[in-house]
Structures are given as structure tokens and as C-alpha cells.
Amino acid sequence: MKCTMSLFLSGAMVASMAVGLGCNGTADSGALGADAATVDAVVDVPVDVATGLPDNPATPDVISGVDVPLVEDVPTVPDLGHDSGPVPPGCSSGVMWTLGDKESPLMHPGGDCIGCHVTKKDAPPLQFGGTVYPTLSEKNDCNGSASVTVEVTDSKGQVVSRQTNAAGNFYLKSEESPTLVFPITAKVLSKGQERKMFSPQSTGACNSCHGSPPIAGAPGRIMTP
């Protein structure tokens, strides 16, 4: 049985695959109170439960055991409404941050804000921080998309909205209210469209997963809807 199809599938498909594969509670869109085990099941690299070996979702093997009609419906290419193939990262905006660690809300777009800040005594602690881009694959320090709304919901149902700044960056400092209770989920909204992250995350270091390259099953950069 395979329980971690999420990385190559849209949220809606995750839900349907989870049902089809018999994985309990995987990626339920209302799973704010999901426990850590559920989170891990979604984030982990896919592993064939039977063999314990890493699984390659691009091979037909991954859908063995699934009903035939569902197999035919599953695309082998990620279905996120955009091309998420192995394209080398570019810089859509054409504008790079060149000022190193100079303190600024516009600093290091695409970088792991929290991962760096925790190592620097002058850097403010953040509850979450990241960058929204127009595509899935963008270099570190490349400016992203301005004026996109990022909405984070914590495990207590507290909701925080932030607008991305001129660099595409968004963040909530630790000194700012509310104090979030992890895990959190997130969505990005723009012009009446949205993209939602279904799996609850135990860190606000958004770009650590949505990096270049992405890790932990993330589809790529956090992308404008």
C-alpha cells in the first residue's frame, strides 16, 4: 500500500487517492487538528510499505493495487495546473537581491528566512516567512510576486493574512500577534483564485520546503494562483 502520492498530485486528487489507497485521513482539507503522524505520512518521501524501499511515483508500480478506473485517471505527469518538470531554475522577474544580509523585508527572496534567522543574533525571529513566485522553479535571491495574499491558519483556527511585498516576501515576526499554535496550513490568494496547502506543517519555514530545489514533497516554489 502506498500512502504518499501527494507530492505529484493536486489536493483534490490527494484526497481521492487517499481514499482509493485506503490511507486514513491523509490530506483531509479540514485536517487542522491532524496529528503529527498524519503530517509525516504526507510529507515523507514515498515508500513502498510492503518493501520499505523508496518508491518512484513516475513508474506504473506506484498505482498497483488501485482500482483500474482510477489507474486510468491518474496522470503520470504532476497535475498542478502548471509545468513542474525538471526545468533549471530561472528568475522570472529578472530582478535579483544583491545586498547580502542587509536588514530589509525585501532581503533574500526565495531563501530560507527562518533557517538563516535562527543562526544570526541580529535577525528577528519569525513565526513564518517565505516568498511567492509566478512559477514553480525560481533561483534564490530572485524577486517574486508582489501583492499576493498569504493566509495561514493554525491548529487553533487563528487566521493571519499577509500581503507579499515588492520582493514577493511575506512573514510574521515572533513579536507580532497572534502567536500561532502549530501545525499550520496555508493558502495563497490573488484575483479571486487560490492555491491551498492541504498538509499541515510543523514549521513556518515555508521556503525550506518550497526551495530550489524543493524538498519534503513540496511541488516547487509557492506559486501565485
**Where do contacts with ligand HEC occur on this chain (CB under 6 A)?**
6-7, 11, 27, 43, 80, 101, 103-105, 107-109, 111-113, 116-117, 120, 122-124, 128-131, 150, 152, 169, 171, 186-188, 195-199, 201, 203-206, 208-210, 216-219, 222-223
Q: Which is nearer to ligand HEC, 57 or 219 (CB)?
A: 219
Least distance in angstroms from the C-beta of 210 to ligand HEC: 6
Q: Which is nearer to ligand HEC, 8 or 63 (CB)?
A: 8
Closest by CA to 204, choosing from 170, 158, 177, is 170
Return the half-sphere exposure (C-beta side, CA atoms, 13 A cut-off) of residue 93: 21
Least distance in angstroms from the C-beta of 116 to ligand HEC: 3
Least distance in angstroms from the C-beta of 126 to ligand HEC: 7
Least distance in angstroms from the C-beta of 149 to ligand HEC: 11
Phi-psi region of 30 (alpha: psi -120 to 50; beta: other; left: phi over 0): alpha
CA distances (Å), 138 to each of 104, 111, 146, 216, in order?
Answer: 20, 11, 15, 17
The C-alpha atoms of residue 131 and residue 89 are separated, in whole angstroms, by 15
The C-alpha atoms of residue 116 and residue 139 are separated, in whole angstroms, by 17
Least distance in angstroms from the C-beta of 214 to ligand HEC: 8
Query: What single string gives the DSSP state of each residue in 16-38?
Result: HHHHHHT-TTTT-TTGGG--HHH
CB 186 within 8 A of CB 107: no
CA distances (Å), 199 to each of 38, 55, 80, 181, in order?
Answer: 8, 20, 15, 15
Q: Which is nearer to ligand HEC, 66 or 142 (CB)?
A: 142
Q: Which is nearer to ligand HEC, 41 or 222 (CB)?
A: 222
Q: Which is nearer to ligand HEC, 63 or 153 (CB)?
A: 153
Least distance in angstroms from the C-beta of 117 to ligand HEC: 6
